[in-house]
Amino acid sequence: MFDEVAEVQALLTKAGQGDEDAVNQLFSRYRSRLKKMVRLRMNRRLAGRVDDSDVLQDAFLEISKHLDEYIANPPLPFFLWLRKITGQQLIMTHRQHLGARMRDAGREVSIHRGALPSASTASLAAQLLGKLTSPSQAAMKAEMQIRLQEALNSMGELDREVLVKRHFEHLTNTEVAQELGIQESAASKRYLRALERLQEILVDMRLISNE
């Protein structure tokens, strides 16, 4: 972890000196994590109309434009700042293509704090079913997804958002706490509680064993 922080700081120093390759390396370093966030949080109505790479490209342009400001006065750890900028670009994409229909996009995970669009329970359910169902269960998949979405909607909103960040996007507990503006101990407790609830849901649907 220390090596990563030192490497990022060294790249930020070079970027501040006008090294464009360092800027590219900084973004490339976290591209896969940002791409996963965009895929999870992009509204499903945009499927086939908007490519996640386009959102990332727009984010890269904004990051390049404001990087000197960040280096002079960092408001957040670097990766969380990248997530914030990328989230803002995703919000703009939603507004551009969906407009007022964003209000009717369905029940979604609340973002609470931070510039990130919601992750739909449809996206979460699809990811879970993709990992847990077998080919023989394919015919039941649509019904199972609806049941799983309803179960996910029954979870507390903040617990569900912590689950999204930790379990699906693989943020650290520290990163989750910083993004949501809560104590690390609170973030950890909510994650454990959300995992227990998710396990109960999956056992009840016979997608996993309780052994």
DSSP secondary structure of 150-189: HHHHTS-HHHHHHHIIIIIS---HHHHHHHHT--HHHHHH
In a domain, 110, yes or no: no
State the distance between the two ends of the chain, measured CA to CA, in whole angstroms: 35
Nearest Cα residue to 99 out of 137, 171, 46: 46
Same domain, 68 and 125: no
Residue 185 belongs to what domain range?
A: 121-204
Report the CATH number that the domain containing residue 147 is assigned in CATH.
1.10.10.10
Is residue 23 domain-shared with residue 95, that is, in the same domain? yes
CA distance 191 to 3: 27
CB 207 within 8 A of CB 173: no
Instruction: For residues 128 and 175, state if they share a domain.
Output: yes
Q: What is the CATH number of the domain that holds 75?
A: 1.10.1740.10
Choose one of 104, 139, 172: the last residue of a domain. Answer: 104
Same domain, 156 and 183: yes
Mean pLDDT of all residues in the chain?
84
One domain, residues 100 and 178: no
Contact present, 177 and 187 (Cβ < 8 Å): yes
Q: Which of 70, 104, 138 is the last residue before a domain boundary?
A: 104
Q: Is residue 109 part of a domain?
A: no
d(CA 96, CA 19): 33
Yes or no: say if 129 and 141 are a contact pair by the CB < 8 Å rule: yes
pLDDT at position 113 over 60? no
| 111 is a domain residue | no
pLDDT of residue 129: 79
Q: Name the DSSP class of 118.
A: P
- The answer as to whether 113 is a domain residue is no
Residue of 157, 192, 187, 193 lying closest to 173 (CA atoms): 187
If asked whether residues 33 and 62 sit together in one domain, one would say yes
Segment 152-204, tens digit of pLDDT: 888 888 888 898 999 889 999 999 999 988 999 999 999 999 999 888 888 88
Residue type, 23: V
55 near 89, Cβ under 8 Å?
Answer: yes
pLDDT digits (tens, 9 = 90+) for 22-69: 999 999 999 999 999 998 888 878 877 889 999 999 999 999 999 999
Q: Confidence band (pLDDT; 50, 70, 90) for 151?
A: confident
Task: Tell me whether residue 211 is in a domain.
Answer: no
Could you give the number of structural domains in the chain?
2
Q: Tell me if 197 is assigned to some domain.
A: yes
CA dist., res. 154 & res. 151, Å (int)? 5
**Which of the pair, 139 or 57, is modelled with greater confidence?**
57
Tokens of 92: 């703009």
State the alpha helices, DSSP H only, in the chain: 2-16, 20-41, 52-72, 78-98, 121-132, 141-153, 157-163, 173-180, 184-204
Q: Is residue 55 part of a domain?
A: yes
Higher pLDDT, 131 or 39: 39
Question: b/e for 12-37, b at 16 or more Cβ within 10 A?
Answer: bebbeeeeeebbeebbebbbebbeeb
Say yes or no: 99 and 11 in one domain: yes
- Residues 22, 83, single domain; the answer is yes
pTM equals: 0.82
